[in-house]
A and B are shown apart, each in its own frame.
Chain A
Amino acid sequence: QTVVTQEPSFSVSPGGTVTLTCGLSSGSVSISYYPSWYQQTPGQAPRTLIYNTNTRSSGVPDRFSGSILGNKAALTITGAQADDESDYYCVLYMGSGIWVFGGGTKLTVL
C-alpha cells in the first residue's frame, strides 16, 4: 500500500520562508493526485489552505502557496508568522475514489 510521506517536523524563523513537502513511498506526485493541504491547531478541526495543487481556499492569506516541486507536492509559507505554528497535512487522491492523508508536519515558528 502506497504511503503519503511528509516531514515529521520543521522549524522556521518569524518572517522566514518554509516549504513543506508531500511525497509518495513509491512514485511521483503530480497534479493528477489533486493535492490539498490542511492546517490544524490543537483541539480544532482541520481547515483547507490549498486544494487542487495550488488553489487557495477562501480567506487564506496569499503567503500560503502550493505547487509541485520535483516529484512532490509542496506547501510554501512566505513570511511565516507566529500563528502559523500548527500541524499541516497533505491529502492525495489515489484514484478509484480513495484519498490518503500524509502523516502530517508539525511546524514550529521560533
Chain B
Amino acid sequence: QVQLQESGPGLVKPSETLSLTCTVSGGSISGYYWSWIRQPPGKGLEWIGYIYYSGSTNYSPSLKSRVTISVDTSKNQFSLKLSSVTAADTAVYYCARYYCTTTTCFHLDYWGQGTLVTVSS
C-alpha cells in the first residue's frame, strides 16, 4: 500500500520560503506524477502543481512565480518550495500521487495526511 507523508516546518515567517518534503513509502516514485495541493483553514482545495519522476513540472498560473517542485528519486521523495510567503499562504499542504494511463492523468489516488503550515512572525 502506497503511503505519503509530508514533513517540514509548521511555522514560517512572512517573506521567507516555505519548504516541505513528501516521502513515498510502499512503492516507487518512479513512473508516476506527483502533486502538491493546499487548503487554507475553512476554505477549499487549491492545486499547486505537479512533477513527473523524471523532473518535468507544471504549476498553477497563480502561484507559478513563487513555486518550485523537485524530486529526489534516490530518496523516494519530492519537495515543494514556495517563496515570499504571506499570511494568505497559511494552509494545510497535501502531497498526492496521480493515477495516470500512458496518455492521460485522471485523478489523485493516494494522499498524504496533510501538514499545517502557518505563516506568522
Partner of B50, one of A34, A38, A97: A97
Q: What size tier do the contact residues of chain A reach?
A: 20 to 34
Q: Are A46 and B104 in contact (CB under 8 A)?
A: no
State how many angstroms separate the Cβ of A86 from the closest Cβ of chain B. Answer: 13
Say yes or no: B106 contacts A52, CB within 8 Å. yes
- With known contacts A1-B61, A89-B45, A45–B113 Cβ distance under 8 A: yes
- Which residue of A40, A97, A100, A104 has the most chain B CB atoms within 10 A of its CB atom? A97
Query: A72 → chain B, closest Cβ, in Å?
Result: 18
Q: A98-B61, A101-B45, A102-B44 are in contact. Are A48 and B50 (CB under 8 A)?
A: no
How far apart are A45's CB and chain B's nearest CB, in angstroms?
4
Specify the chain A residue showing the minimal Cβ separation from B112.
Answer: A45
Is A97 in contact with B61, judged by CB distance below 8 angstroms? no
B107-A36 in contact (CB<8A): yes
Q: How far is the CA of A40 from the CA of B114 in the complex (A)?
A: 13
Interface residues of B (CB under 8 A from A): 37, 44-47, 50, 58, 60-62, 94, 96, 99, 104-109, 111-114
